[in-house]
Structures are given as C-alpha cells and as structure tokens.
Amino acid sequence: MDAPLPLDDQARSILAANCRGTYTLPTSGLYPYQWNWDSAFSASGIARFDLDRAWTELETLFSAQWPNGMVPHIVFHQFDESYFPGPDAWGTGHQPPTSGITQPPAAATIARRLLRQDPKAGRHRLAGVFSKILAWHRWFDLYRCEHGAVAASHPWETGRDNAPDWDGPLEAVDVVGIEPFVRRDLQHVDPEMRPTKIDYDRYMALVQFGRDAGWDEDVIRARSPFRVADPTLTFILLRANLDLRVLAVELGRPTDEIDRWIARLRQGAEALWNPDLEAYDSYDLRGQRFAGTLSNASFLCWYAGVDNPGMVARLESLLGEVSYGVPSHPPGSRGFEPRRYWRGPVWAIMNMMIGTGLAGFGHHALASRIRCDTRRLIAGGGFSEYFDPLDGSPAGGGSFSWTAAVWLDWASPSTMEDDHGFAKT
C-alpha cells in the first residue's frame, strides 16, 4: 500500500479532482456545480500552487453575473441529475442557467489576496473583474440594505442554510401547494447530518415564490415571507467593501461610493447587536425581533474590522465548551445538534475567517487556538465539509474544496501565520 500523501499534497489533489476546467465544485455528487462563496474561497487555496487558475475561478464566477449586478449562488454550467433543485426549479431564464439568489460576497477579499501574492501579474486580471465586483456590491446596497445590515430573502443566501436563526422566520412560510420534489442530498449524506424535511419544504416554497415573482427584487423585498438581516452577509460584505476600496485605490478608481457603503454597513452591523444576548444576532425584518441566537457568524465581527471586547469574552466562554474551534451553534442551546449541518458543527471556513479577523486585531492567543483547532480537525478527520465540535469526527460531504483551501492557505504548518492575506483590512 502506498504511504499516505502529506496533507498539503492531499489538499492540492482534492482541489485538482474537483476542478472542472475553469471552475471548482465544492465536492462531487453532493454539490456538482459552481457555488458562489465556495468558489471564491477555493480560489485562495488554488492560488497556493496555480495563481493563474485562481484568477480564472473568479472570472468564471462573474461570467454568470446578472444584468442587475447580482451574482447567483449556483451556476449550472453542466446539468447533473444528482442535485436538486436544478435549473428548471429555479426558472431564472439566464444563460448559463443559475439560481435566483446570491451568497456571501467573498470575491473582493479573495481578489485582494490574489493580487497580494503577485501584484504585477494580478493587476491586469483585477482590472477585468473589478467593475463586476463593484456592480455586485452596488446591487447589495440597492436591494438588500434597507435595515442597514444585509437582508437575506432565503436561508441559502446566508450560507448557513438550517441555522437555528431561521427557525422563527421560517414559520411564516406557507408550504401548502408546493410542487412535489425528490431530495438528492440524502443519497450522498446521512440524513441526520442534513436539513429536515420541513426545512426543505420551506426552502422550496421560497424558491417557488421567487420564481413566481420573476426574481424581481422589488417584489421580493415587499412580499417575501422571509426577510432576515443576517450577520454572515453583513460582516462578509463589510469586509469585502474594505478590500474593494484597497483594490480601487490600486487601480486608481474613485472610492466615494465604496466609502458610503462602508459607513452604512458599519452602522448596520451595530444594528445587529442584541443587548439581551450581548452578541451580534440575526434580526427578523418581518417579525421585528431578534433570533436570540449566538452563532459562529456572530464572531465574524473582527473579520469585518469591528472589534468588540464583549465578543472576546463570549468567544472565550464558548471555546471552553467545545474541543475544536467555533461551533455553528453552542452546546446546551435549544436546537443544538453536533452533526447536523449548521446547527452545531464546526466549519473550517468559518474558523479561518474568525481566526484571521482576531489576528488582525491582535487577539493572537484566541486566533492561534482556533487555527490549531482547525489543524487538528483536518489532520484527524480529513477534508470533510464540517466536523462535530465535541469529538472532531467528520461529517457532511468528503473531499471538500474549501476545507482543502483552508488547509493550504491558513491551517497548514507550511503556511506562515502572517502570510494568508486575510488578517489586515
């Protein structure tokens, strides 16, 4: 039997195996298309061994941008029957076919990271995508920031599909009359690790609503039963705007518009502070109430350039309850399930954003703890989609692209701690 590859080589092999020419799958079977924020973070790992291909990853993602500036959360480059909902369920009418919703906008941050690796070679590639990234951020400002913070019209837009944050808001979603469907995810992953049937019924009711509305953002903002201001979208967009401003200066572009977005989002982020929870929280814009839920997204504040001493204390307390990094939902809380998707498991990608944000503010002990936890998770459980926060066991899909990217760009001992390009805003 051949000796196992070192983890750096295994990570590169995973990214190569999930490559489909000009874009990268999160993992084959379970997610057989190009996903928005997965793709962006995958590019950061690919850049460690093929910078040209990393730029191509971003360029391919933006080739599916809508005329209004929105970048969809899934691009259906080639039909694959192993995934539902596919292009027909979304009915967007776009080419290439896409979903009708977006995802956390990581592309500007990754573009800055790629440029940092080779400024001379990257400047031309950056110039080709800059206006597209700018248009996407403008779309967010026009259509999603009515609360100041960024509003989601579907749980999938947040990237944290079945987080307990959405339990209350989703109760308002009527599932009567939804079209029959067959889930494909349960053919690839243990059902105990995936969202429940009622979750999926509500997800599909929202897809049908958006399709019936012609994916018109004004109609969706006015009438969608689900409209939640989300810390994931808010903090990641704020970080992305900070990075976009750096890119604008690099290209000699004006920054006034971006400066307005940054100021607005900083205020919006503070609007997500729940004084009863003493943490950043999701806010249901329809029900006019906080979720009352501490999540790993609550700790993305440092990643977005927002330091908060109270959040340091909350994080220190939470890390004392688990063995491996930042759980998506705290043990002992209502709804905690250590192996069900975003209701408890640890995600390497969230650990990386939290850890690099902490490092940028000088919280080095906490940052090092999270980085070392992530290293132990991957070394012990492989490149899984997510992990049990109590025992570190792998869960979800395997051979996962952004977990491999996190290893190469941050968690690996071969990566210098100050060389990942994320900590500084």
Name, in order, each residue with C-beta under 8 angstroms of 414's C-beta and a sequence gap of 6 or more: 8
In 129-251, DSSP assigns E strands to 151-152, 228-229
Residue 26 token pair:
């999160």
| Cα–Cα distance measured from residue 289 to residue 227, given in angstroms and rounded to the nearest whole number | 12
The single residue listed with the structure tokens 């290893």 is 407
Question: Is position 212 annotated as part of the catalytic site?
Answer: no
Distances in whole angstroms, Cα of residue 54 to Cα of each of 8, 42, 58, 280, 415: 17, 8, 7, 33, 18
Q: How far apart are the first and last CA of the chain?
A: 46
Q: Are 407 and 413 in contact (CB under 8 A)?
A: no
| Cα–Cα distance measured from residue 327 to residue 390, given in angstroms and rounded to the nearest whole number | 9
Catalytic member of 38, 185, 385, 388: 385
Burial level of 218, CB count in 10 A (0-12/13-18/19+)? exposed
Catalytic member of 141, 161, 284, 373: 161
Question: Is position 385 annotated as part of the catalytic site?
Answer: yes
Residue 81: how many other CB atoms lie within 10 Å: 8
Residue 263 token pair:
């100021």
DSSP state string for 357-421? HHHHTT-HHHHHHHHHHHHHHHHHH-S-SEE-TTT--EES-SS-HHHHHHIIIIISTTS-TT-SS
Calculate ∠ Cα 38-188-1, nearest 5°: 90
Residue 283 DSSP symbol: E
Residue numbers annotated as active site: 161, 385
